[in-house]
Structure 1
Amino acid sequence: MSTTAAPAPGASRGDLARLERHWGETPSVRSWLTTVDHKRIGRRYLVTAGLFFALAGLSALAMRTQLARPEAGMLSPEEYNQLFTMHGTTMIFLFATPMLFGFGNVLVPLMIGSRDMAFPKLNALGYWVFLFSGLFMWASLPFGAAPNNGWFAYVPLSDEQHNPGLHMDVYSLGLLFLGVATTAGSINFIVTALKLRAPGMSLNRVPLFVWAIVATGFMVIFALPALNVDNAMLFLDRRFGTHFFDPEAGGNVLLWQHLFWIFGHPDVYIIVMPALGIVSAVLPAFTRRGVVGYPLVVLAIVSISIISFGVWVHHMFATGLPQLSYSFFSAASTIITIPSGIQIFAWLATMMLGRLVLRVPLLFVIGFIVTFVLGGLTGAMFALTAFDQQVTDSYFVVAHFHYVLIGGAVFPMLAGIYFWLPKITGRMYHEGLGRWAFWLVFVGMHVTFFPMHLYGLFGMPRRVYTYRSEAGWDGWNLVSTVGSYVLALGLLLVLVGVVHAIRRGRPAPPDPWGGDTLDWSTDSPPKPYNFPVLPRVRSLHPNWDGPSRESMATGAEPDRVLADGRRTLRTSELDGRRERAVEMPEPSFQPLVLALAMLTFFTALLLAWYPVAAGAAATVAVTLAVWLWPPRRPDTEVGVSA
């Protein structure tokens, strides 16, 4: 049993019993399939994304083993291409964003003082679609039909003529399917953060992590349609003979790259932005002060989310576009480093002015800063057109984006896992085991990827499954492979630490770190209804603020207990003024049924079973109609007068 907070004096035992009755879910198979609890869904996102991360990591180890020595024969070219593509596609689409959305699902309602997400059933649908789309793509690997043209899927190498079979059909349909989950999750985060904040939580009191999640949601809404259109056109070209990317029929091969990178460069920040929010959430607990320059950090988050849409040609400096256009995108690629630098300096100032408590989450934050800054330096080099053209498609590029994505996303994720593990599970992790994991991950990461800068400059191209010994790359490749196994060992220790904490960790108090946000004012793990009394926020750091904490414990107003149903408060967008209580939906099979119908639809399209696809589309339409059908109001029941 975990140690929990005492019952709130502002909520009577009767209120607590009614809240438990309305919000609690009896453990059962039915409950597991129908839950709409944001915390359970968030945990599922974290675990499922972690499993996909393990699959992608094993693919990477296989590739690094193949490249450890010249002309190795462990993998055939076809096997290497499929593992290479599934590694990149999984890390970008099935791990990074879903893992961070998992943190958002668990934490956003807790941080803003709500009892659930704005659209709980849509939240459940997002998870099921994410799970099924990932299984849809990975199920192709045992049949030798997995995507095989890189996570970027450049045409014409991905068209039917140059790449026959189901490989890239799996890719295009899988990402279209996954896009449903990503879009649904983003809309849910935006509405939740704008409309379900606790009374008194005006925009200048919103936690930085929530700001980062909301900015990410807006970026997804504007960036993802370009990728969806791209994949739809690729599938139509391959399956039905359209010619969107065929120059001989009036198409354009660069159209794929433009649409892909209009999504792809914001996607770098879609991945990194919530991770930066995790850093801003972790630092106050281990520096004993708020993040320096809160308004500037918020401005930096918003600026990055806007400027990131103006730098996509940064990825196309070697495609032969007009030289004049390069200057504009080079300037934008340079400018975007400014808001990123503002956040770095704000975190450094916070650490310098605070009183550091060196625990495992802070170690991973420090590792993040070191690694991300190094990746940012090479990113600024890529903003220079002449340098970019020299190192395009070399291992220097591979080194850069792994420094940015592992340093900028994975290190903060690991910090977040250790930071919120007590809150999510009610158990404390083993500090010594966590420190060993940090050092193995940190050393393994740099030993793996730093040499890639060197043999990239020495001429080794990316996307090759083997090489000849005369080139002189073999020693550096061996070092990278050894580093990859050290990195894998460190990540395995993280997993061991999590399992050890769940099974044998000591019970966690509600606030083991002295955190500043509302999530640390709840039990560990939180009750199904999160807060017995919804808080009234009076500062940016409500858990450090006496009046804010007292609002949850004493003198509770009845309109903040809301024990007579599954209800939470709706507030105004800017000032967090109370508007009214809103009813939240009960657990339902509808999200699962709808996701299964979508899975059937995309599988039938892949296998050209078009009548089955039509039937599945009809099932989707019927399920949506039932879902959206307005409930019967009591005053319209038969026999009740108006």
Structure 2
Amino acid sequence: MVGTIPGVVLAATVLVTLAAYFHFRSDRPAKSFADGGTASATIGLTGTEKPTGILRWFTTVDHKDIGLLYILFGTVAALWGMTDAMMMRSELLVPESAIWNVETYNAVFTTHGLTMLFFFVTPVFTGIANYVLPLLLGADDLAFPRINAIAFWLLPPSLVMVRGGLITDIVGMVVGVLPVDVTVFEALEPVAMGWTMYAPLSVEMVNPQISVALLGLHLSGVATTMAAINFIVTIFTERPDDLGWDKLDIFSWNMLVTSGLILLAFPLLGSTLIMLLLDRNFGTTFFAVEGGGPMLWQHLFWFFGHPEVYILVLPAFGLISLILPKFCGRRLFGFRFIVYSTIAIGILSFGVWAHHMFATGMDPRLRASFMAVSLAIAIPSAIKEFNWIATMWNGNLKLTAPLICIIGGMSTFVIGGITGVFLASVPVDLVLHDTHYVVGHFHLIVVGIIPLAMIAASYYWFPLITGRMYNQRLARIQALILIVGAFITFIPLLILGYMGMPRRYGVYPAEFITLNQVASVGAFILGASVILWVVNMIQSARAGPIVRDADVWDLKETGQFTREWQWFEERLEQGQVGPARAIDDAGVGAIDDGGVDADVGPKERADREDTGDGQNERRSETETDDGETDSES
């Protein structure tokens, strides 16, 4: 029961904050929203009802603002989780426990995994989709803007709850030098149960912070599920009449499948976390050792966990499929097969969870079945890789920063994917399961194609979001450093796994020291590349060259000037420089965009201006005879 008290206090704080938020919103003027708000001919045209400064960010329901908030939150979480990784790699420079003690190593190992999986990747992709998906669809906003805002504001308290033990530990050490009582800071110890939270360890550890962290994870799952529902409804209901399923862009297809996976996987995780909380605090026996509870936990966790892998990577696939053709001068090869492969991955992802459990002694017949499906799921991914290469073949490649990131992501995905095929084989997995080979395989995906796709998207849409251009030379250098750092870090881990080095330990035999030091150097290179990206983005948003031509990437030459860039061009023609006013209002220093029609989507603007045929003619120029856009055929 003691473990639930801090969580109840935090939950009550969140509820009070939300109640105050809605009370404040109820006194504001009506505005046109897709979720049933009152329409107004004046409000929305001028945007004058929006507050300025930081208050704007706390009260906004605009999909672009919330998208930026998601991206900023995910970036902060990534930097926090990256700090954990650097602490671990620092410890692994030497075989013995020299820098951090065992408890600290286990704690940062736990928070690193939870932070990166739940608070970095999914929020960043949710933010990108928040910003560009309505523009790609030609919608005014997401279907439920207020729910969109609620889903985001559930995440910050969730992150604090998950990392609360480390936070209070650090605060206690700082305050400890003062003549004050620090007992309250010692009540919540850092969580050191591992990011997979395996029972019975997670049940029996006496640390109230574990219960708080479980509540935080549950809250983040609620937020993610709300966002997924919003995306699904938006894609189904907010498309214009002339945008059929055959014309839907590839990123929207991937977000639709990803949202479906979230809708099926995260509620199960929430139920499992509640069962664990009941075992810890109310004496239930869901995961009791005597009844096979540890195996039950693994089945429930990995039934969520492996679809979660594709929840993380499918948006990256969508971004690569969308952006790659723009810099190859040709249409995406095999558009329909890429869509079908995405759907196939979504279906098969729920039939492979037990390949994480080959070493647990399950029935050999079950192991054989899961091995077959685990091998089969590699086929849709291989189709994507083949089609990406075919798109580049004989294309007019423009070696920009986005394309460098995409090529690097494709390369890491090939190695990470093939090593995963090896692990899908039961005999190989039994040998390599508890080694660093698994760490290298997994991180070549989550620190390979996923962040490279994110950074490619940031470079591709940066002019659209800020109205400014970044330092392209620095961006190319940063992309190359990131790719090199990823290979230097994780290829040695594959070799260490072959040599038999166990994972999850902060100490190891001395014969593994050389490759561990190489991997640590690679990790520091990765960190340096991320710092370069952050510096480039901030500096360019403040003082980068102003964009005067919406066709930044010469997309009109190849007929790939898609809807979001058409929206941007219309803003430029109206004397607006881009939606950077939101950044400027927060004091970052970006440019003013004039404020007219700042919150009006393409569909609503077309209705108001009554341009009708003219706009449709311009859009039809980028469509092929079978209805697909040139960029996604």
- TM-score, length-scaled by structure 2: 0.80
CA–CA distance in structure 2, aligned partners of residues 482 and 103 of structure 1: 31
Q: Hey, what does 1:72 align to over in structure 2?
A: 97
CA deviation profile, 1:210-252 (whole Å, cap 9, x unmatched): 000010000000011221111111111111111111133x352
Structure with more contact order per residue of length (Cα contacts < 8 Å, sep ≥ 6) = 1
CA displacement at 1:552 relative to structure 2: 11
- What is the aligned partner in structure 2 of residue 381 from structure 1? 422
Q: Is the 8 A contact 2:551 2:561 kept in 1?
A: no
AA aligned opposite 1:303:
A
Alignment correspondent of 2:565: 520
Q: Which residue of the other structure, out of 353, 375, 380, is the alignment partner of 1:334? A: 375
Counterpart of 1:548 in structure 2: which amino acid? Answer: N
Of residues 489, 510, 527 in structure 1, which corresponds to 2:550? 510
Counterpart contact for 2:200–2:289, Cα < 8 Å: no
Distance 1:497 1:61 in 2: 22
Matched, 1:368 2:421: no
- 1:35-93 deviations in whole A, cap 9, x for unaligned? 10000000000011000100110110011000101113211111111101000101101
Offset, 1:357:
1.1
Q: Which moved more, 1:357-366 or 1:497-506?
A: 497-506
Report deviation, 1:517. Answer: 2.4
| 1:531 alignment partner in structure 2 | 602
1:296 Cα offset (Å): 0.7
Percent pairwise identity: 38
Partner deviation per Cα, 1:449-477 (whole Å, 9 max, x = no partner) = 110011111111111011232xx100111
The one-character-per-residue Cα deviations of 1:522-549 (angstroms, maximum 9, x if unpaired) are 125243213275569xxxxxxxx99635
Give the C-alpha shift of residue 388 in structure 1: 0.5
Q: Note the 1:478-489 alignment, pairs <5 A.
A: 478-489=517-528
Distance 1:287 1:113 in 2: 25
For residues 286 and 336 of structure 1, do their structure 2 counterparts lie closer, same or farther at Cα, with a shift above 3 Å needed?
same
Is 2:107 the partner of 1:39? no
State whether residues 113 and 534 of structure 1, in contact with CA within 8 Å, keep that contact through their aligned partners in structure 2: no
Match of 2:152 in 1: 127
Task: Give the gaps of 5 or more residues in structure 1.
Answer: 1-14, 537-544, 554-574, 577-642
Change (3 A) 1:23 1:376: farther
Provide the rounded CA distance (Å) in 1 between the counterparts of 2:342 and 2:153. 30
Task: Say which of 311, 335, 338 aligns to 1:297.
Answer: 338
Q: Tell me the CA shift for residue 327 of structure 1.
A: 1.1
Cα distance in 1, alignment partners of residues 435 and 614 from structure 2? 56
RMSD: 2.2
What's the CA shift string for 1:349-369, capped at 9, x where partnerless? 111143111100000000001
Mapped partners of 1:23, 1:398: distance in 2 = 51
> What one-letter code is carried by the residue in structure 1 that aligns with 2:85?
A
In structure 1, the residue matched to 2:536 is: 497
| Superposed counterparts of 1:217-256, under 5 Å | 217-248=259-290, 250=291, 252-256=293-297
Shift of residue 375 of structure 1?
0.4
Deviation at 1:436, TM superposition (A): 1.3
Supply the AA of the counterpart residue of 1:419: Y
Between the aligned partners of 2:347 and 2:614, the Cα distance in structure 1 is 37
Please give the secondary structure, in 1, of the residue aligned with 2:302.
helix
2:278 is aligned with 1:210: no
Cα separation, 2, equivalents of 1:551 and 1:307: 36
How far apart are 1:405 and its partner, in Å? 1.4
The residue identity in structure 1 corresponding to 2:396 is R
Report Cα offsets for 1:12-55 as digits up to 9, x if no partner: xxx99764236862414443321100000000000110001001
Q: Please give the secondary structure, in 1, of the residue aligned with 2:602.
A: coil
Count of residues in Structure 1 that have an aligned counterpart in Structure 2: 528
Quote the Cα distance in structure 2 between the aligned partners of 1:532 and 1:334. Answer: 44
Find out whether 1:51 has 2:76 as its counterpart: yes
- The answer to whether 1:315 aligns with 2:356 is yes
Distance 2:156 2:49 in 1: 25
1:355 and 2:396 are equivalent in the alignment: yes
C-alpha contact 1:133 1:174 (8 A) present in aligned 2: yes
Does 79-88 or 171-180 show the bigger shift? 171-180
Could you tell me the TM-score, scaled by structure 1's length? 0.79
- 1:104 is matched with 129
Q: Contact 1:207–1:517 at 8 Å: present in 2 too? A: no
What secondary structure sits across from 1:466 in the alignment?
Answer: coil
- Give the Cα separation in 2 of the matches to 1:136 and 1:487: 28
Question: Contact (CA 8 Å) 2:404, 2:480: kept in 1 or not?
Answer: no
Is the 1:53–1:91 contact (alpha carbons within 8 Å) kept by the matching residues of 2?
yes
1: CA distance between counterparts of 2:76 and 2:157? 13
Give, as a single letter, the amino acid of the residue that structure 1 aligns with 2:248. Answer: V
Q: Give 1:501 deviation, angstroms.
A: 1.1
AA aligned to 1:517 is T
State the alpha-carbon separation in 1 of the partners of residues 309 and 330 from structure 2.
29
Q: For the residues of structure 2 that align with 1:282 and 1:454, how far apart are their CA atoms?
A: 33
Cα distance between partner residues in 1 of 2:561 and 2:425:
41
Cα distance in 1 for partners of 2:389, 2:132 equals 25
The answer to whether the Cα contact below 8 Å between 2:67 and 2:129 also exists between their aligned partners in 1 is yes
How far is the alpha carbon of 1:172 from its aligned partner? Answer: 1.4
* CA distance in 2: counterparts of 1:35 and 1:491, whole angstroms: 29
**Separation in 1 of the partners of 2:305 and 2:83?**
24
Whether contact under 8 Å (1:287, 1:351) holds in the other structure is yes
Following superposition, the deviation at residue 432 of structure 1 comes to 0.8
Q: Which runs of 5+ in 2 are unaligned?
A: 1-39, 170-188, 569-576, 580-597, 608-612, 622-626, 629-633
In structure 2, distance between residues paired with 1:272 and 1:288: 25
Asked whether the 8 Å contact 2:143–2:234 carries over to 1, the reply is yes
Tell me the amino acid that sits aligned with residue 616 of structure 2: S
| Distance (whole Å) between structure 1 residues aligned to residue 619 and residue 477 of structure 2 | 41
- Return the match for 1:158 from 197, 202, 213: 202
SS in 2 for 1:318: helix
Contact 1:535 1:548 in 2 (8 A): no
CA gap 1:22/1:61 in 2 versus in 1, 3 angstroms: closer
Deviations 1:588-641 (A, max 9, x none): xxxxxxxxxxxxxxxxxxxxxxxxxxxxxxxxxxxxxxxxxxxxxxxxxxxxxx
Q: Report the CA distance shift for 1:21/1:358 in structure 2 as closer, same or farther (over 3 A).
A: same
Q: Specify the alignment match of 2:35 in structure 1.
A: none
Counterparts in 2 of 1:156 and 1:205: CA distance versus 1, 3 Å: same
CA distance in 1, matches of 2:212, 2:141: 34
